[in-house]
Amino acid sequence: MTEFDFAHTSDVDEFDAGYKAFREGRMSEERFTPFRLQMGVYGQRQEGVQMVRVKLPGGNLTPAQLDVIGDCVADYAGRLPTDGTLSEAPEKFAHVTTRQDIQANFVSLDDVPAFLRRLDAAGLTTREACGNTVRNVTTCFLAGRCPSEHADVTVHARRFAEYFLRHPLAQQFPRKFKVTFSGCATDCGLSGMHDIGFIATHQDGRPGFQVWAAGGLSSQPMGALLLEEFIEESEMLVVGEALMRIHFKFSDRKRRARARMKYVAQKLGAEGFVEEYKKQRAVIEKTHASDAGYADAGWRTPTAAMPFDASGVVAQHNGKSAILLNLFRGDLTPAQCHAVADAARAAGTDELKVTTEQGVVIADVDADKVEAAQAILAAAGLTSAYARGIADVVACPGTETCRLGITSSRGLAAALQPLMADLKKDSTLAGITVKASGCQHSCGRHHIADLGFHGMAKKVAGQAVPHYQLHVGGSGVAGSPLAFATDPVPARHAPEAGIAVLNAYKEGRQAEESVHDWASRIGQAGISAILAPFAADAGEIEGLIYDWSENEAFNTKGNKKGECAGAVLSMSDALISEAEYELMIARAHLDAMFWGEAATALRRSSISTARAFLVAYGEAPEEDGQVFGLLMGHAIGDAEVIAGFNAVQSALMNIDLGDPGPGVTALKGVQSDWLALAERRFAAVPAADEAVAETAAVQPAAEPQQSDEAIVQLDLSGVACPMNFVKTKIKLSGMPIGAQLEVILDDGAPIENVPLSLQEQGQSVLVKERMAGGQWRIVVEKSSKI
């Protein structure tokens, strides 16, 4: 396998510094939250514990690395939460995710730095496994060994992941960005549900990829569209960057629920989206002029179909075997991590891979060593029998740990297991997929399952009851249809309802009819008839209000937090990332002596830098032409900002069009300095002698103090989040403790977020009342220093 540069000790050093700053009170919680997310450290449903996610491009790791993960899970996972929600310490396990990551839950924040250090020493990183970044790049489960593949796309996935990890364009996306690679048209990578899907192929003897884009699941699933019928292997990075530019620039930063690239494609239409892609690609084409192919990708002519065997041991194209492990709910105990590593060593291989179906593959096993490896696995309670079969149920964490979970999807998976005992042996159902999600966001990928379950709440006889909506006949393969949504059934009836659907398909399908085609033929009425016996009965309400694996009656209570402060930080961080990215583009053009392109990129960098400074003043102008004027007006008293601004403007005006090289080079220098100032002002980790960073890098001038009787008014009608929050904070900053501010806010996100965010920052909201015309009035008392 090709070597690649992924884990950097400097990332752990930075996290350690940020952790210390947070513990010492020098970094606010709203700043620390996105900071830790960027390093793959995610808050749980329970307070006082974290999830730590290891990013494994293509799911690849070595036995030694799995040993380290197992040791870290044993030493750091399974801590008791601080909120009293658990009376006994939770089980310790390494959990394989649907994006080929491995994560550990119930980790104390105080243990995270040591956890990351040990991973880093083993060549592993958590960097950008969470957050608004390029998430883990996935591949087929048998990439590099499958007889049907055109190439070992593990090589491409790792190179793509390496290139965009820490890349300035990919640090502050509006939302996450998902990429996959498949080795052939079977598309085990599931390109249809990804922001980008690369499918290896040959055209006229040339190796390359078919490219799909703008797919996604969640509450509004959309299949990807065909972007390029064929690209050369060397075009992989420029295509990826062009699409990321679309996401960065056009995805909706104001409405998080719509901040995915699929909505850009929906808005522009397929033709408009492809046209925009071509425009963005043209801007950066020259910077990728030296990109080449990958000699170690092993391009080949497919020799057979994708292998399947009920034993879980399948033939590779190189004459060796792969052992596919069936992990219950994707979990490995520390002892099982070591057993898998030992089995690989006994099999004489260093090649391990975790899969998007939450399994593990031991690859490159000699036929005479399979039995020895399986003996070690069996002793640890692991089996390869029926791996990737119908009983290999995929499930997200659900209410067990996820803050967004509504139902216990892992509990449902456990309830399904005994019902699958006979079905998994039925060859008619071989290859059928079953997936469960604890909410509408589809982390369990229910939209692309032959049988999917989607957790939801529904009232029965006036009480909230956990339900699952069933989804039938879905696929994530590019160009294939998503599942049909059918009738919800109570969670307690969901396993039997799912089995009834599978039995009906088995008995009623025609010839080799797929689940999707069968469901299309019998229609919604036919599916509803199958599910009717499992509908909720008000008379059995007492038995329905308990979810699987839950001892308390079902409820949908959650911790809702205001998002304004985090959104402000996200805006400034995103603008600085954009400025850094444009500066990087400018440097590439300068190196090639493309002076005009370099000057254009430097101007864009300066505009983004100016916009970052303007966030502190509650300004987010729509037009670029307004940016510099607004900054001059607001920052006139900030000598450093104005000096940098003047230097950039002077350099822009002094470029000699007859001989632009020296002028553009000078512009690069002063813009680099001005951007460095913005980076210091908005740094995630403050210097040891700095106070906790506020949302504004520059504090506004104090206003006259308010009299005891007067209530200052601030009309923010038409001002969107998060600028309404910034303007409110600026107004409060000039008022004395105890003073009151009346604020007019619009309905929707403004009234949902601004009061909560103010309360989180120590202010008191005394009044919150609806007004005529779809607006709200709140009265805020300044209770603490801004």
Q: Which of 1.10.3080.10, 1.10.10.10, 3.30.420.40, 3.90.480.10 is the CATH number of 313-379?
A: 3.90.480.10
Which of 331-345, 393-407, 706-720, 751-765 has the lowest average pLDDT?
A: 706-720
The Cβ of residue 628 has, within 10 Å, a number of other Cβ atoms equal to 17
Looking at domain 712-781, its CATH superfamily turns out to be: TusA-like domain (3.30.110.40)
pLDDT single digits (tens) 398-422: 999 998 899 999 999 999 999 998 8
pLDDT single digits (tens) 57-100: 999 999 999 999 999 999 999 999 999 989 899 999 999 999 99
Q: Where are the domains of the chain?
A: 1-133, 313-379, 394-472+482-544, 564-681, 712-781
Residue 722 pLDDT level (bands cut at 50, 70, 90)? confident
SS (H, E, C) 728-762: HHHHHHCCCCCCEEEEEEECCHHHHHHHHHHHHCC
Report whether pLDDT(703) > 80. Answer: no
Residue 108 pLDDT level (bands cut at 50, 70, 90)? very high
Q: Which of 52, 176, 178 is nearest to 124 (CA)?
A: 52
Place of tokens 């090289």: 661
Per-residue model confidence (pLDDT) at position 2: 46
pLDDT single digits (tens) 24-70: 999 888 889 889 999 999 999 999 999 999 999 999 999 999 999 99
**Ramachandran angles phi, psi of 92, nearest 5°:** -95, 125
Which of 349-363, 425-439, 676-690 has the lowest average pLDDT?
A: 676-690
Report whether pLDDT(565) > 70. Answer: no
Residue 756 pLDDT level (bands cut at 50, 70, 90)? confident
Per-residue model confidence (pLDDT) at position 569: 62
- Calpha distance 786→767 (Å, rounded): 20
- Calpha distance 729→342 (Å, rounded): 58
Higher pLDDT, 784 or 212: 212
Name the token pair of 614. 């303007």
Overall size of the chain counted in residues: 786
- Calpha distance 782→498 (Å, rounded): 55
Contacts of 398 (CB under 8 A, 6+ apart): 405, 406, 407, 408, 409, 410, 411, 412, 436, 437, 438, 439, 455
Using DSSP's 3-state secondary structure scheme, residue 182 falls into: strand
User: By the 8 A CB rule, do 38 and 131 touch?
Assistant: yes
Query: Where does residue 705 rank: exposed (0-12), middle (13-18), buried (19+ CB within 10 A)?
Result: exposed
- Calpha distance 371→362 (Å, rounded): 13
Q: List, in sequence order, every beta strand (DSSP E) within 188-270.
A: 196-203, 206-213, 225-232
Report whether pLDDT(557) > 80. Answer: no
| CATH architecture under which domain 564-681 falls | Up-down Bundle (1.20)
- Calpha distance 16→9 (Å, rounded): 11
pTM: 0.89
- Calpha distance 439→454 (Å, rounded): 6
Backbone CA torsion sign across 214, 216, 220, 221: positive
User: By the 8 A CB rule, do 352 and 361 touch?
Assistant: yes
Name the token pair of 545. 């209000």
For residue 302, is the peptide bond before it cis, meaning its omega torsion is within 30 degrees of 0? no
Q: DSSP letter at 769?
A: E
Which of 207-221, 327-341, 743-757 has the lowest average pLDDT?
A: 743-757
pLDDT above 90 as % of the chain? 78
Place of tokens 């960005």: 177
Residue 150 pLDDT level (bands cut at 50, 70, 90)? very high
Q: Which of 3.40.50.2300, 1.20.1250.20, 3.90.480.20, 1.10.3720.10 is the CATH number of 1-133?
A: 3.90.480.20
Name the token pair of 616. 């502190």
pLDDT single digits (tens) 249-283: 999 887 888 899 999 999 999 999 999 999 999 99
Q: Do domains 1-133 and 313-379 have the same CATH topology?
A: yes
- Calpha distance 724→728 (Å, rounded): 6
Residues 549-570 have a mean pLDDT of 65
Looking at domain 394-472+482-544, its CATH superfamily turns out to be: Sulfite Reductase Hemoprotein, domain 1 (3.30.413.10)
